[in-house]
């Protein structure tokens, strides 16, 4: 099997090779793909190819990488802190 990933990604195929396979039988192959540490949220394509002595086939898979759930929560906390500060400033600095 051949796995083509974006630059910096790693791929592992388990099992790496399958020996003689009688007609009508099948084997399950697991492809583990890991992106690099500094990945940007986007859509990526991975190509997986299978070759034998008689034929070959290639297929493409789409991998969608999204933002973590903490980023929107952190943004809401920052906005709440700013709004709270704006609302508290006139109360603290009132003229007496």
User: Would residue 72 count as lying in a domain?
Assistant: no
User: Would residue 88 count as lying in a domain?
Assistant: no
Tokens (6 digits) for 77:
């906390």
C-beta separation of 1 from 50 below 8 A: yes
User: Would residue 9 count as lying in a domain?
Assistant: yes
User: Would residue 92 count as lying in a domain?
Assistant: no
User: Would residue 30 count as lying in a domain?
Assistant: yes
Kindly report, residue by residue over 29-57, the tens digit of the pLDDT: 899 998 888 888 889 999 999 888 888 89
What pTM value is reported for the model? 0.60
Name the E strands within 15-80.
30-34, 42-51, 56-65
User: Would residue 73 count as lying in a domain?
Assistant: no
The total of structural domains in the chain comes to: 1
Domain residues for the domain of 38 are 2-66
- HSE at residue 35, side-chain half, CA atoms within 13 A, is 14
């Amino acid at each position: 099997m051949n796995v083509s990933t974006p630059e910096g990604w790693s791929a592992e195929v388990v099992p790496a090779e399958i020996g003689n396979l009688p007609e009508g039988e099948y084997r399950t192959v697991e492809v583990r793909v890991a992106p690099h540490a500094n990945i940007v949220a986007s859509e990526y394509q991975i190509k997986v190819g299978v070759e034998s002595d008689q034929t070959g086939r290639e297929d493409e898979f789409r991998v969608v990488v999204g933002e973590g759930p903490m980023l929107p929560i952190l943004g809401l906390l920052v906005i709440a802190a700013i709004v709270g500060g704006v609302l508290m400033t006139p109360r603290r600095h009132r003229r007496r």
